[in-house]
Amino acid sequence: MPLLEAEGLARQLEGRLLWSDLGFRLEAGDRLGLVGPSGAGKTLLLRQLAWLDPLQRGRILLAGRSPSSWTLPVYRSRVAYLPQRAVAFAGTVEQNLRQVLSYASHRGQAYDAPRILGWLQQLGRGAGFLALAAERLSGGELQLLALLRALQLDPEILLLDEPTASLDPASTERVEALLHQWLARGQRACLLTSHDGAQIERFTGRRLSLTP
Amino acid sequence: MTAPGALPISDGRLALSALLILVNVVLSGLLRLGLGRSLLLAASRMVVQLLLVGTVLEWLFRQHNPLTILLLGLVMASIAGVSAVQRTRARFAGIYANSLLSVLASSALITGLAVSGIIRPQPWFAPQYLIPLLGMVLGNTLNGISLGLDRLMEGLTSRREQVEARLSLGASRWEACLEVVRDAIRVGMIPTINSMMVMGLVSLPGMMTGQILQGATPAAAVRYQIVILFMIAAATALGVVGVVLLGYLGLTSREHQLRLDRLRTRT
């Protein structure tokens, strides 16, 4: 059974049909690149998969079950969507990480300091990063925070919208390495958009093309 | 109706008072404020509306049927519910129903409790008590509701990214919107708290002034004022909480989505 399956999706935006009869399957280990010109609806497709917008047509199944049958908060912590513009919540980086774990859907999950510190080290940041005020982080640092905030929930699917757009090449490489490592840890897959053709070439195994 | 205490104002002197509006008109002209027309319109509306209300109340106070009085209360509350929405900058389906429900429930409950438990007029529906008290409660609740609604819609719009980021990380719609909801309720309740803070120091409420002119002792008038302020505070709190929670439910979905597409900004 595929991890995530989409079938017959269609999306209309202000009378314009962005896509129709769109479908794909994500199997464990898949790295699917979502490509297409600006305005083709790449972000809207990721939002759709995260169930942030009402579904117009088709169906989406996670491990064979619909999002509603998982309950949406549980579904979304297993299919984590990272928007292009990472969002800071009030407080320090560590408070950002802890706050997310307080949601009812993560009951039983505790803040894992050693694991976070390990990831930070891999990303070339020290423990001092945790004490920074999240709202004053640079765009790139905010993307790192957003990635860690999602990774700590142990999602099975990551929906990444331009995950390294604000990062320098060295940090981009580190993020990709961290993602590979996360993928290798279990039954996981990710879907990614990037304006960087080389990153799509390098990181993804298959491509899904959205053409208007 | 004879007023014990207060000096009656004759028609001629009433007309004389209207000359005071000339102060505003002249100032508007001198400073080119462009308010002349709205000043005259507002002044005429005020005079006509109050004279009408005076007549209606005279008729009403002769009524001995509780149904008539409750019906009038219902009409007043409905007008308050509709006006609260008319002051907001955006709309969504159901906003009028939400506002009506919140205003009706909160004002009926609080006015009912206060009149039957604290003031206890005979009979319980005595319009001299029920109608002015309800009016004061409604005026303030209306204000709180429109502030709270406005803030809720503005907050969900301006913090959409935060709310959706929380949803994307597994928050329920309640967990994701809690901050915005709290903020909206707070904003709706603050004017009431502020007005209690300076009551008697900066402002002498109109009703108290009226009672004193009518010959009531200041000590007795003050007691009424205290009861009314507590009524206003409680009714505003209930109304604001109700309308903000209903609005939150209307602008999110059971599938834990933020549905700003249901919001229409007024043009």
What is the mean pLDDT of the segment spanning B102-128?
A: 93
Residue B3's pLDDT band, with cuts at 50, 70 and 90, is: very low
Above 80 in pLDDT, residue B203? Answer: no
Above 70 in pLDDT, residue B262? Answer: yes
* Three-state SS at A33: strand
Residue B80's pLDDT band, with cuts at 50, 70 and 90, is: very high
Q: What is the DSSP letter of B115?
A: I
Residue B228: exposure state from Cβ atoms within 10 A (0-12, 13-18, ≥19) = buried
Q: Which is more confidently placed, A75 or B125?
A: A75
* Three-state SS at B103: helix
- The pLDDT value given to residue B267: 64
Q: Scanning every residue of chain A, which has its alpha carbon at the shortest distance from the alpha carbon of B255? A: A72
Residue B252 and residue B259 in contact, taking contact as beta carbons nearer than 8 Å: yes
Q: Which residues pair with A157 in a beta bridge?
A: A79, A189
Residue A120's domain is classified under what CATH number? 3.40.50.300
Q: Chains A and B: how many Cβ contacts under 8 Å?
A: 71
The string of pLDDT tens digits covering residues A97-142 is 999 999 999 998 999 999 999 999 999 999 999 999 999 999 999 9
The interface residues of chain A toward chain B in range 136-165, judged by CB-CB distance below 8 A, are 146, 149-150, 153
What is the mean pLDDT of the segment spanning A172-177?
A: 96
Chain B nearest CA to A136, separation (Å)? 15
Total domains, chain A:
1
Chain B residues within 8 A of A50 when measuring between CB atoms: 168
Query: Residue A9: which H helix or E strand, with range?
Result: strand A4-13
Q: Which is more confidently placed, B151 or B53?
A: B151
Residue B266's pLDDT band, with cuts at 50, 70 and 90, is: confident
| A98 shares contact with chain B (CB less than 8 Å) | no
| A91 shares contact with chain B (CB less than 8 Å) | no
What is the mean pLDDT of the segment spanning B202-217?
A: 81
Pick from B169, B253, B260 the residue to mutate for testing the A interface (most A CBs within 10 Å): B169
Nearest to B168 among A74, A76, A89 (CB): A76
Chain A residues within 8 A of B255 when measuring between CB atoms: 51, 54, 67-68, 72
Above 80 in pLDDT, residue A212? Answer: no
User: What helix, strand, coil percent values describe chain A, rounded to 5?
Assistant: 40, 25, 35
Above 90 in pLDDT, residue A45? Answer: yes
Above 70 in pLDDT, residue B4? Answer: no
Q: Which amino acid is at A187?
A: Q
Q: What φ, ψ does residue A193 adopt, rounded to 5°? A: -110, 150
Across chain B, what does the average pLDDT equal?
A: 91
- The pLDDT value given to residue B36: 84
Spacing of C-alpha A135 from chain mean position:
20
| Residues of the domain holding A103 | 4-209
Q: What is the DSSP letter of B252?
A: B
Chain B nearest CA to A102, separation (Å)? 9
- The pLDDT value given to residue B173: 98
3-state secondary structure chain B: CCCCCCCCCCHHHHHHHHCCHHHHHHHHHHCCCCCHHHHHHHHHHHHHHHHHHHHHHHHHCCCCCHHHHHHHHHHHHHHHHHHHHHCCCEEECCHHHHHHHHHHHHHHHHHHHHHHHHHCCCCCCCHHHHHHHHHHHHHHHHHHHHHHHHHHHHHHHHCHHHHHHHHHCCCCHHHHHHHHHHHHHHHHHHHHHHHHHHECCCECCHHHHHHHHCCCCHHHHHHHHHHHHHHHHHHHHHHHHHHHHHHHHHCECCCCCECHHHEEECC
- The pLDDT value given to residue B182: 97
Q: Over pLDDT 90: what percentage of chain B?
A: 64
- The pLDDT value given to residue B111: 95
The structure tokens listed for A71 are 């309950």
Above 90 in pLDDT, residue B64? Answer: no
What is the mean pLDDT of the segment spanning B87-92?
A: 91
Residue B206's pLDDT band, with cuts at 50, 70 and 90, is: confident
The string of pLDDT tens digits covering residues B252-261 is 999 999 999 9
What is the mean pLDDT of the segment spanning B10-32?
A: 90
Chain A residues within 8 A of B165 when measuring between CB atoms: 83, 87, 89, 146
- The pLDDT value given to residue B2: 45
Distance CA A40, CA B44 (A): 58
- The pLDDT value given to residue B106: 97
The residue written with tokens 């109050």 in the block is B50
The string of pLDDT tens digits covering residues B127-136 is 988 998 999 9
CA-to-CA separations, B226 to B210, B229, B235, in angstroms, rounded: 15, 5, 14
Nearest-CA neighbor of A76 among B176, B247, B157? B176
Q: Give first-to-last CA distance, chain A, whole Å.
A: 30
Q: Which of A17-21, A45-49, B171-175, B247-251 has the lowest mean pLDDT?
A: A17-21
Q: Over pLDDT 70: what percentage of chain B?
A: 98
